[in-house]
Amino acid sequence: MTFAVGSLVKARGREWVVLPESDEQLLVVRPLGGTDDEIAGIFLPLEKVEHARFDLPDPNLTGDYLSARLLRDAVRLGFRSSAGPFRSFARLAFEPRPYQLVPLLMALKLDPVRLLISDDVGIGKTIEAGLVARELLDRGEVERLAVLCPPQLAEQWQAELRDKFHIEAELVLPGTAARLERNASLGQSLFDLHPFVIVSMDFIKSDKRREEFFRTCPELVIVDEAHTCAFAEGRGRHQRHQLISGLAKSPNRHIVLVTATPHSGKEDAFRSLLTILDEDFANLPDDMTGSENEKHRRRLAMQFIQRRRADIRHYMQADTPFPEREEGEDTYRLSPEYKKLFDRVLEYARETVRDVQDTSKNQFHLRVKWWSVLSLLRSLASSPAAAAATLRNRAATAEAETVQEADEIGKRTILDMMEDESAEGMDIVPGSDMGGEEEEAVANRRKLLDMARAADALSGEEDEKLSKAIKLVNTLVKDGYRPILFCRFIPTAEYVAEALRKSLPKGVDVVSVTGMLPPDEREARIAQLAESEKHVLVCTDCLSEGINLQEHFDAVLHYDLSWNPTRHEQREGRVDRFGQQKKIVRVLTYYGTDNQIDGVVLDVLLRKHRTIRSSLGISVPVPVDTEKVVEAIFEGLLLKSKPSAMDNYLPGFEEYMKPTREDLYGKWDAVTEREKRSRTLFAQETIKVDEVSRELLAAQEAVGSGVDVASFTRNALQMVGASVQAKDNLQVDVTQAPQGLKDLLNQSLGSGYKPIFSARFDVNTKEGEYFLTRTHPLIESLSSFVLENALDPLAGKDIKNPARRCGVIRTKAVEKRTTVLLVRFRYHIIKEKRGEENKPLLAEECGLLAFTGSPQSAEWLSKEEAENLLQASPDANVNPDQARDFVQKVIDGFDSLRPYLDDTAKQLGEQLLDAHQRVRLASRQRGVQTHVEPNLPPDVLGIYVYLPKGS
């Protein structure tokens, strides 16, 4: 006996739906009204399975208005796989914001999907990429997925995919790859074994692995922080670019590139990313403006999306609650002792640089020295601990062999200028000891060590920067904030954390996270920290990129200024992003008034950057070739100004700086201007707003919109015996509720679940509250519990079973007896590609059908009229005997209703097909045939009769 996919079978004393994964011997089934977690396999040769019919409701179990409505709502909220344009929507653990659908709609118009998502920091690019992946998986277009990302983001990707998209992905990192490969049999790669993987980009890019990966790579690849793969100089970048462009060569491979900074100031790099999308983009004209280039722009806009926060804040009426950013600045002055050391170091620096300049014509030697003194200044401005470490360590640049190499290392470790390099390894102290054993070097080293001892003595009381910062943190904590302090160097972070731990009040936890910790341990530390109510995180820039910290933190203090304004943007983006629950996040820029470095950086770079951001709404990175300007500024600081100038800017210094600054600003403004133009050029033109709203509406209809989630939750919880207290939030105690519900909640809400919790239905959730939407796991569990019990013929009339499948109310809303049928339609979507049949997808839809009069003389109402009936409220009571008789009449006459039900099933099937294909324009062109087959007869879940209320 064979069982069609989607049909009902009876086995083990209950009813099941046959799922597509079944084969001739093994039936994969889900209990009727059950969840995906309850899917079971039945081995046919061993167990008896029969076709089942879905029974009509029992008229002896009529319910009142409330219990009948409960079932209707539960059905509409609790659907597993839904019809509508998107296959994936019922599997999402969150409600996507309308603007987040735009990349998905774009992707569905492409085949292969090649998309560059460059939305602003904190908008939810991960979610947008995840949506694309989930939909392609659920449409059966791809079976395997790989996410390429920097290793430190791998865990976060894994968690996001698991928690939001129910995709269980394996991590492929240097540490795990060997283990995963061991499990693969001969000739099988780990990518065959694990359909969903998250791969460290740096691991897979190596020449050795790359070739194999080209062969085994999954059909869908998401590349996070894609700007690091743009074509550019440098070995690491080159390998990454090779990797991605190699992957792009396969014409069937879907690639989603994700980055917040596709330009990074370099036009070439951006162009090289575009060629990943389409090789033809290499031929795009340099200047894209003008009406003659309209077609190019249109072409590009199909695959490239870049939106600012302001663009989406009010997208389609759905206000997205991004937090307000409250920016502040605070300053400190160096203590006399500290200043003395500063002067000493500066003097040393001047000497060194001058010496080298005077005595040696060796460019290389000059550069190395130059970088080492700069790094010394930098670390001294950070903290005594960082300074001491730098003074004692061997200079990083001492390893360099050429001028270029020295410059690259220097820029990276000191100037923060390597825009598109990942933040990994940046927080190591640079070191200042040039090494060597000759006499001069030894003397130099002695000098350095002497200064190091002086630096050691400064920690604690003498460190004004620290003591003022402690006060600031204290205020933040008192105001209810949970701040992150960003430091530049590892020793600084550890030093600050130590001091905070000592001086903050009890109950405030402080943890430092630096590049010293492996990425997975960083997350563990943060998770542990988040458990305490008040906490402070001290970290380096290793946490400044990509990581979601908005759930547990809501303020940022820049303990050390980064010299790269984009870095600031990214640090702040950790807390100021989609999903932040605080309405206001605080950002404090903290700098010294009398250490000139901070002043210059702030003046020249950060403030300018902020001005641009506030006027344009996006951050424009510092034009890259202006590194030289920054260098020049410091050259000026070191060489031209006299020792006496240390108190403040000397007029002379100011004058010296002016032209270089003007030059920088000029270039910067030019880039800004170009950016502004490109924004308007690449504005989203391909996806119309009404298109999004149409699809969203269609998707929402399928997932039970129109149900008052709040009243459903309250009533359902109350009716199963949980105690519910509705104030401005909902305080729920499910200790009294049936064990079945508690188990479900435990499963769906995960580790944080407690039987007593609070929740609310608007976005103003506080820490520890659930924000309940119709797709929240809690609502899902609750509705499936209600539904499952109502459909279980053995459940009886117990408290565990508050909902009723049939009911009769008397209402003024009708003038003639009207019957509403709550029907579940089951379909399978079969896709044929060149004669080859893919495994069918299962879609379920619930529909309301209503007719007036007796079943034999039924006059059917339109969908809207049927929907409206759900709003009808009872106006008089119905005698229970009468209720039973009226439901019985409908059941007795049900044969006359069947033809209409079957017709509707077929009709809806066609609509489903249309919706399914409408959004996926691209695949229709490639000889793929899709058809939808309804499973007849549809299941009648509920029968509700509305009687007119006489005078």
Partner 1 sequence: MPIADTGDGIATLQAKHCPACGYFHPESTGNQDRCERCHAQLDPPITPLFRLQNVSTRRRDRISSDEEERMRQGYELRTAIRFQETQTGDLSAQSAKLTKDGEELAVLTYASAATISRINVGWRRRANPSQLGFVLDIERGYWAKEKDEQKDEQDNALSGRVKRVIPFVEDTKNSLLFEPATQLNEKQMASLQAALKSAIQIKYQLEDSELSAEPLPSSKNRKIILFYESAEGGAGVLRRLLDDAQAFGDVAQLALQLCHFDPQTGEDQLRPEGSDEDCEAACYNCLMSYYNQMEHGLLDRKTIQEFLMELSGTVAKTSPSALSREEHLRRLHNLCQSDLEHEWLDFMEQRNLTLPSHAQKLIESCHTRPDFLYETDCVAIYVDGPHHEFASRKERDASQTDCMEDIGHTVIRFDVKDDWEKIVVKHPHIFGVKS
Angle at CA of residue 56, ends 50 and 60, nearest 5°: 125
Q: How far apart are alpha carbons 76 and 774 in whole angstroms?
A: 10
Site map (CB under 8 A) of partner 1, residues 657-696, x = contact: ----------------------------------------
Q: Please name the residues in contact with 199: beta carbons below 8 A apart, sequence gap of 6 or more.
A: 146, 147, 148, 149, 154, 172, 213
Amino acid identity, position 687 = I
Angle at 606 between CA 464 and CA 369, to 5 degrees: 70
Residue closer to partner 1 (CB basis): 50 or 892: 892
* C-beta of 127 vs 720, nearer to partner 1: 720
Task: Tell me which of 38, 792, 885, 902 binds partner 1, using CB under 8 A.
Answer: 885
Task: Provide the minimum distance between the beta carbon of 37 and partner 1 in the complex, in angstroms, as a whole number.
Answer: 19
* x/- map, 806-845, partner 1, by CB under 8 A: -x-xx-----xx----------------------------
Give me the residue label for tokens 């969903």: 196
Q: How far apart are CA 836 and CA 929, in angstroms?
A: 10
23-62 residues in contact with partner 1 (CB under 8 A) are: 62
In angstroms and rounded to an integer, the radius of gyration of the C-alpha atoms of the chain is 33
Is 846 in contact with 822 (CB distance < 8 Å)?
yes
Rule CB under 8 A: is residue 907 a binding residue for partner 1?
no
Pick between residue 206 and residue 747 the one whose CB is nearest to partner 1. Answer: 747
Q: Which residues of 382-413 are buried (b: 16+ CB within 10 A; e: fewer)?
A: bbbbbbbbbbbbebbbbebeeeeebbbbbbbb
Six-digit token string for 787: 């539904």
Among 366, 624, 724, 870, binds partner 1 (CB under 8 A): 724
Question: Quick one: which of 696, 719, 849, 915 contacts partner 1 (CB under 8 A)?
Answer: 719
Q: Which of residues 60, 611, 615, 736 is near partner 1 by CB under 8 A?
A: 736
Q: CB of 823: closest distance to partner 1 in angstroms?
A: 22
Q: Which stretch binds partner 1 (CB under 8 A): 26-34, 540-548, 549-557, 874-882?
A: 874-882
Binding residue (CB under 8 A) for partner 1 from 873, 896, 907, 929: 873
Of the pair 13, 950, the CB lying nearest partner 1 is at 950
Can you read off the two tokens belonging to residue 92?
Answer: 């999402």
Retrieve residue 695's tokens.
Answer: 């699809």
Stretch that binds partner 1, among 160-168, 382-390, 539-547, 803-811 (CB under 8 A): 803-811
459 binds partner 1 (CB under 8 A): no
- Rounded to the nearest whole angstrom, what is the least distance from the CB of residue 40 to partner 1 in the complex? 23
CB 776, min distance to partner 1, A: 21
258 contacts 125 by C-beta, under 8 angstroms? yes
Asked if residue 517 binds partner 1 (CB under 8 A), the reply is: no
Select from 558, 387, 362, 542 the least CA-distant residue to 462. 387
Contact 592, 331 (CB under 8 A): yes
Q: Does 709 bind partner 1 (CB under 8 A)?
A: no
SS (HEC) of 15-37: EEEECCCCCCCEEEEEECCCCHH
Q: Which of 383, 641, 715, 783 binds partner 1 (CB under 8 A)?
A: 715
CB of 818 to partner 1, least distance (A): 9
Is 865 a binding residue for partner 1 by CB under 8 A? The answer is no
How many residues interact with partner 1 (rule CB under 8 A)? 47
Among 335, 731, 758, 911, binds partner 1 (CB under 8 A): 731
CA atoms of 594 and 649, how far apart (whole Å)? 9
Please report, as a single letter, which amino acid is at residue 419.
E
Question: Which listed residue (57, 265, 874, 942) binds partner 1 by CB under 8 A?
Answer: 874
Q: Which is nearer to partner 1, 686 or 723 (CB)?
A: 723
Q: Closer to partner 1 by CB, 694 or 949: give it.
A: 949
CB of 542 to partner 1, least distance (A): 43
- Single residue of 441, 527, 763, 876 touching partner 1 by CB under 8 A: 876
Strand pairing report for 756-760 and 769-771 = parallel
**In whole angstroms, how close is the CB of 866 to partner 1 at the nearest point?**
18
Task: Retrieve residue 633's tokens.
Answer: 């500024």
Q: Smallest distance from the beta carbon of 857 to partner 1, in angstroms?
A: 7
Find all residues with CB under 8 Å of 618, minimum gap 6, and list them: 120, 308, 675, 679
Least Å distance between CB 804 and partner 1? 9
Distance of closest approach, residue 782 Cβ to partner 1, in angstroms: 15
723 binds partner 1 (CB under 8 A): yes
- Report d(CA 868, CA 760) in Å as an integer: 27
Q: Please give the full DSSP string across 704-744, using - where no structure is assigned.
A: TTTS-HHHHHHHHHHHTT-EEEESSSEEEE-TTS-HHHHHH
Q: Which is nearer to partner 1, 633 or 878 (CB)?
A: 878
The torsion angles phi and psi of 844, rounded to 5 degrees, stand at -125, 145
C-alpha span between 513 and 537 (Å, rounded): 7
Site of interaction with partner 1 (CB under 8 A)? 62-66, 715, 718-719, 721, 723-725, 731, 733, 735-736, 739, 742, 799, 802, 807, 809-810, 816-817, 852-854, 857, 873-883, 885-886, 889, 947-950
